[in-house]
């Protein structure tokens, strides 16, 4: 079966190191081995209220982040989800295949809705059905995501399987494989090593944004929470200390070393040594991306062209599949 890669990023601002290491970095490497479709998932973004002007700007910013991270728009499809109506159409169809019991188990809905579940949007609840539609609309076989999306991916697999069984169309939808980074699948907050780094966390000091300048990166790393001991000499010990584990994991991923090797370099030293080194490599890796994003954001018509070109290509693929899906279901 031909390898088809699909993934998306929400245009909800504050793109951060977690998005980069958990998703974008993988997007870039996959473009050399497969047909890749990368989507700015604006329909997902509106599951929580977005100011229209900010949303528009964030759609461009996320597109710029794709390009600035190294995705080649001439070889891959980059577009925004709301421009291809097949996503919404298939989402409805798959909502009729998906089960309430399956959605009730989704932990991200519980986390995001919090105690005010009754006030959460219906969209937030059925978000995983839309994600299944995004993937299956292109019959994607592989989906690069961070570990936080693993459960949603499993649901997409269940939905694909049920559709194939219900309509007796064996192998119509491929069962998509998650591609989750092996070494660092979940980048944690700089303020709390037990919480994931996230866009919506109130404190900007909890994350490294792709748009941060060198001074701010150094400041954030200096202020990052650590414990009082020195850096341990073995991974078992390191794993018990969530903040130290997170910083070392980030360091090893950025320099492209195994965690064991990074630990050898750092063990016995105090955290200021690690923090200086980490700031240095982060500035080297992240700031060029931020600068490129900034430059791209100054030419919106160029970004608009990239999205338009991508939308046309995505629409052709989506329409071809949606036509078959309509026939399978029995629509006239």
3-state helix, strand, coil in the chain (%, to 5): 60, 10, 35
Residue 168 — left, alpha, or beta (φ > 0 → left; ψ -120 to 50 → alpha)?
A: left
Identity of the residue, 136 or 145, whose beta carbon is nearer to ligand AQP in the bound complex: 145
Q: Which region among 5-13, 80-88, 248-256, 257-265 touches ligand AQP (by CB under 6 A)?
A: 5-13
Q: Which region among 15-23, 248-256, 289-297, 302-310 touches ligand AQP (by CB under 6 A)?
A: 15-23
CA–CA separation, 171 and 255 (whole Å): 41
Q: Record the tokens describing residue 104, joined without a space.
A: 């009730």
Quote the least distance from Cβ 230 to ligand AQP, whole Å. Answer: 26
Task: Please state, in angstroms and as integers, the Cα–Cα distance from residue 130 to each residue in 21, 142, 193, 198, following that order.
Answer: 24, 17, 30, 21
Q: Record the tokens describing residue 61, joined without a space.
A: 């910013």
The answer to whether 277 is a known catalytic residue is no
The answer to whether 292 is a known catalytic residue is no
Which residue has tokens 């989704």? 106
CA–CA separation, 173 and 169 (whole Å): 8
Binding status of residue 145 toward ligand AQP by CB under 6 A? yes
The answer to whether 196 is a known catalytic residue is yes
Binding status of residue 156 toward ligand AQP by CB under 6 A? no
Site track 178-217 with ligand AQP (rule: CB under 6 A), x = hit: --------xx--------xxxxx-----------------
- CB 239: neighbour CB atoms within 10 A? 13
Which residues sit opposite 80 in a β-bridge? 40
From the list 196, 220, 275, 285, the catalytic residue is 196
Name the burial class of residue 15, with classes exposed (0-12), middle (13-18) and buried (19+) by CB atoms within 10 angstroms of its CB.
buried
CB 5 within 8 A of CB 143: yes
Q: Which region among 144-152, 232-240, 270-278, 306-314 touches ligand AQP (by CB under 6 A)?
A: 144-152
Which of 13, 19, 86, 191 is close enough to bind ligand AQP by CB under 6 A? 19
CA–CA separation, 198 and 325 (whole Å): 36
From the list 3, 150, 162, 199, the catalytic residue is 199
CB 271 within 8 A of CB 226: yes
Identity of the residue, 140 or 325, whose beta carbon is nearer to ligand AQP in the bound complex: 140
Which of 76, 98, 141, 149 is close enough to bind ligand AQP by CB under 6 A? 149
Binding status of residue 59 toward ligand AQP by CB under 6 A? no
Under rule CB under 6 A, which residues in 66-85 are in contact with ligand AQP?
none
Q: Which region among 7-15, 83-91, 271-279, 320-328 touches ligand AQP (by CB under 6 A)?
A: 7-15
Identity of the residue, 69 or 164, whose beta carbon is nearer to ligand AQP in the bound complex: 69
From the list 3, 112, 162, 219, the catalytic residue is 112
Q: Give the catalytic positions in this structure.
A: 112, 196, 199
Instruction: List contacts with ligand AQP (CB under 6 A).
Output: 9-10, 12, 18-19, 22-23, 145-146, 148-149, 186-187, 196-200
């Amino acid at each position: 079966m031909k390898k088809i890669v699909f993934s998306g990023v929400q245009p909800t601002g504050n793109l951060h190191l977690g998005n980069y290491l958990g998703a974008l970095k993988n997007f870039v490497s996959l473009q050399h081995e497969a047909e890749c479709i990368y989507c700015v998932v604006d329909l997902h973004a509106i599951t929580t209220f977005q100011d229209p002007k900010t949303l528009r700007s964030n759609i461009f910013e996320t597109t710029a982040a794709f390009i600035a991270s190294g995705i080649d728009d001439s070889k891959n499809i980059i577009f925004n989800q709301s421009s291809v109506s097949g996503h919404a159409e298939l989402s409805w169809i798959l909502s009729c295949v998906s089960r309430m019991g399956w959605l009730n188990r989704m932990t991200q809905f519980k986390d995001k809705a919090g105690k005010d579940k009754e006030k959460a949007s219906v969209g937030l609840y059925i978000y995983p059905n839309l994600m299944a539609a995004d993937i299956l609309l292109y019959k994607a076989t592989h989906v690069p995501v961070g570990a936080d999306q693993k459960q949603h991916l499993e649901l997409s697999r269940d939905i694909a399987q049920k559709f194939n069984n219900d309509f007796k169309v064996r192998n119509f939808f491929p069962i998509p494989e998650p591609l989750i980074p092996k070494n660092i699948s979940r980048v944690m907050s700089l303020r709390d090593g037990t919480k994931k780094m996230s866009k919506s966390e109130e404190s900007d000091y909890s994350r490294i944004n792709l748009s941060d300048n060198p001074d701010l990166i150094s400041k954030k790393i200096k202020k990052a929470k650590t414990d009082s001991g020195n850096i341990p000499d073995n991974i078992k010990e390191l794993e018990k200390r969530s903040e130290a584990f997170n910083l070392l994991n980030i360091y090893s991923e950025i320099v492209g070393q195994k965690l064991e090797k990074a630990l050898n370099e750092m063990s016995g030293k105090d955290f200021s040594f690690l923090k200086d080194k980490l700031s240095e490599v982060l500035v080297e890796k992240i700031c060029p991306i931020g600068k490129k994003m900034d430059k791209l954001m100054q030419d919106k018509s160029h970004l608009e062209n990239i999205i338009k070109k991508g939308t046309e290509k995505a629409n052709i693929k989506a329409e071809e599949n949606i036509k078959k899906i309509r026939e399978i279901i029995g629509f006239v």
